[in-house]
Amino acid sequence: MNKLSDNNLRVAQAYRESGLTYDKLAEFLKIPRNTLACYITGRRTPSDIVTAYITDKVKGFLEAENSNITDKFINKTQTKDSFVKQIENACLTIEQEDIKAEVQDKIKTAFDELPVLSAEQVSIIYKQNLDG
């Protein structure tokens, strides 16, 4: 077994933190899958520049997933209860109960019909924004 250098360890840590598969991370980094696997397992040692490139790209990916991506996409699972409560509060000024119920139902239906993106789809959109 090869002894892992600091650069190998940093690349391996970036891989683990990314949560991506070898294939997805290699595609994201635009490097061959086998090269990435060799860096992670210690069969090859990446240069300082390559290591910095990989760790910086993964860091950017993680920061985007934890910050500005949430500014652009609604997590419907986490926000639905809060959203429904806000609808109910907003509709308190409507005096006619039948109209109030109809408005609430229409807004809830519209919320439920919002498109849902998987984490992978959000990552793809993020990668496209990085490249573009």
Distances 131 to 6, 19, 30, 49, 128 between C-alpha atoms, Å: 29, 20, 11, 20, 5
- DSSP code of residue 4: P
> For residue 33, what pLDDT is reported?
95
Per-residue pLDDT of the chain (132 residues; tens, 9 = 90+): 568 899 999 999 999 998 888 898 999 899 999 999 999 999 999 999 999 999 999 988 887 766 654 455 566 666 777 777 888 888 788 888 888 888 888 888 887 877 776 667 777 776 776 665
- pLDDT of amino acid 32: 95
Query: Residue written as tokens 């997933």?
Result: 65
Would you state the structure tokens that stand for residue 56, as one six-digit string?
Answer: 């910086």
Structure tokens at 88: 């109910």
Q: Which of 129, 20, 21 is nearest to 71 (CA)?
A: 129
Domains and CATH numbers, the chain: 6-71 (1.10.260), 74-116 (no CATH)
Burial pattern 14-24, b for ≥16 Cβ within 10 A else e, equals bbeebebeeeb
- Residue 89 class from Cβ within 10 Å (0-12 exposed, 13-18 middle, 19+ buried)? exposed
pLDDT of residue 70: 47
Please give the model's pTM, rounded to 2 decimal places: 0.52
